[in-house]
Amino acid sequence: MSAILGQQFIDGQRSALGGEALQSFDASTGQALPYVFHQANDQEVKLAVTAASRAFAPFRQLLPLRRAEFLGAIADEIDALGDDFIALVCQETALPEGRIRGERNRTTGQLRLFAQVLLRGDFLGARIDQAQPERTPLPRQDIRQYRIGVGPVAVFGASNFPLAFSTAGGDTASALAAGCPVVFKAHSGHMATADRVAGAIVRAAQRTGMPSGVFNMIYGAGVGQGLVKADGIKAVGFTGSLKGGRALSDLAAARPQPIPVFAEMSSINPVILLPEALNTRGSQVAEELTASINLGCGQFCTSPGLIIGLHSPQFSEFLDVFAQNMGSQPAQTMLNAGALNSYRAGLQHIVAHERVDHLAGQPQGKSKAQPQLFKADVQLLLDGDPLLQEEIFGPATVVVEVADRHQLRAVLGSLHGQLTATLIADPADLDRFGDLLPLLEDKVGRLLLNGYPTGVEVSDAMVHGGPYPATSDARGTSVGTLAIDRFLRPVCYQNYPDEYLPQALQNANPLSLNRLVDGQWSRAPLS
């Protein structure tokens, strides 16, 4: 294993100007690991942003092929990290080896997927309206448009995905693909992991001849505010709590030059159980739901936090089986002590409510999270009580029973924005409840049928976003190739000679792009 220095990564060099020390811990035992990290000071934050700003122009002007080579090299470097790296990640997060190996594959896979996006070229959005000098009453000038990176991006690592939503995760990959240098804020829960991955990124940058400031990483609590407020930062990517994401959004909006924050924050991911499906496979649904809720100790942003069913004997039978299943689940170790404390606080909040019943789950222990199942009065949602709108990060869920389809529509209408909504339905249910789909479309970013929201595919069509508070901007996604759109902006060239145009807009179409030319898609060169 290469040495873990615990220093900032700034402009291709290491820096340790701050005096405060930070400690890495074993997530399972709580014991200190032999890795100490230096808290970044204000000067290092400025240096990191300055390095990223200096790298922006040369980096974004590289041909897409060159940036694709960089992303591929990062993937290769991360794949080359040995078994000692896997063991380190498991130690810092208490996640099992199989999960970490799978997450590494997802991380390198999405890097290579964005490399394919760059080679494909459609992200450039090339549009050409050729001159019409003979048009009357006024001639049309030659007008051409493509998209460029917005500038340096601040990315905040997530706690629950130490690889796929962290140092070289989706926000970093999509920003780099867009031509935007990154200043990454390492998550305190897995700093040693971040150090190893950051080293892989820097080696890849050096191998492929990237500007030295294309990737920078800083450690420490409290550095995020200065990072978001820095003039050189032009956008923010964040995955975490509603409180944290909202704070960053408010900071960014209050800047003299406001910038966008793409924050994934809070979602309870409702699952709607329809009658015919429960009639034919209620026990199976109870088993599948239990597995989804407890997957990864419930530490997924798409974990089902609200289960909605219509009053019926079938729903009552389902609930009995569901409670037995949830009550038999073993306790699990959470990512860190902070996550466990937050889980306990969330449980205490809901247990204390007089209109919530506890259906299943053993008392909480000192070091592990016990799965819990609750049933709440439907009127809490209808009255706008915030209790059921709040995500409990951990292996817990709440069931709500509605009287009829009219009340079901009212309950769905009361929900805040979500990442996902799931229908468990047979064909007869879809015929009867088809009017729910437009209502759910207004509430969520991803609609599932007879599946479970945990397990997010990285692909061209995936949407991992949704209306507030699921995200701060429902127009984007943090998973899938469309994530690159967040860090791009359009630029228009009017009446420029061909030789001065970027290659994406030149007549010869040297990048072989599929371009919108005079309202028609074409790869052909222009005469």
**Helix, strand, or coil here: 1?**
coil
Per DSSP, helices labelled H in 61-190 are 64-79, 83-93, 97-120, 170-177
Let me know if 288 is a catalytic residue. no
**Going by C-beta distance under 8 Å and a sequence separation of 6 or more, which residues neighbour residue 103?**
95, 161, 162, 163, 164
Q: Which of 149, 152, 144 is nearest to 118 (CA)?
A: 149
Alpha-carbon dihedral sign for residues 453, 106, 51, 149: negative
- Is 264 a catalytic site residue? yes
Could you give the dihedral angle defined by the CA atoms of residues 504, 509, 514 and 520, in that order, rounded to the nearest 10 degrees? 110
Among 264, 276, 391, 401, which one carries the catalytic annotation? Answer: 264
Identify the bridge partners of residue 310 per DSSP, sorted by sequence position.
Answer: 402
Tell me how far CA of residue 31 lies from CA of 45, 185, 364, in angstroms: 30, 24, 21
Which token pair is 129? 């309206």
Contact call for residues 40 and 219 (beta carbons, < 8 A) = yes
Radius of gyration of the chain, Cα coordinates, nearest whole angstrom? 25
Structural contact between residues 43 and 10, judged by C-beta atoms closer than 8 angstroms: no
- 88: amino acid identity, one letter: L
List the structure tokens of 135. 């048009």
Backbone φ/ψ region at 277: left (φ over 0), alpha (ψ -120 to 50), beta: alpha
The rounded distance, in Å, linking the Cα atoms of 125 and 505 is 10
Q: Return the DSSP state at 329.
A: P
**Residue whose C-alpha is closest to residue 448's, from 269, 305, 243:** 269
List the beta bridge partners of residue 448.
Answer: 422
Round to whole Å and give the CA distance between 237 and 214.
16
How would you class 158 by CB atoms within 10 Å of its CB: exposed for 0-12, middle for 13-18, buried for 19 or more?
buried
Could you give the angle at which helices 275-294 and 313-327 cross, rounded to 10 degrees?
10
Element (H, E) at 360: strand 356-360
Asked if residue 53 lies in contact with residue 211, where contact means CB atoms within 8 angstroms, the answer is no
Question: One of 90, 180, 297, 301 is an active-site residue; which one?
Answer: 301
Sheet strands (E) in 115-211: 127-129, 143-149, 153-156, 182-185
Rounded Cα gap, residues 74 and 95, in angstroms: 23
Q: Is 71 helix (H, G, I), strand (E, B) or coil?
A: helix
Of 351, 159, 180, 299, give the one whose Cα is nearest residue 238. 159
Please state, as a whole number, how many other Cβ atoms lie within 10 Å of the Cβ of residue 455: 10
Residues 396, 321: Cα–Cα separation, whole Å: 16
Known catalytic residues are: 264, 301
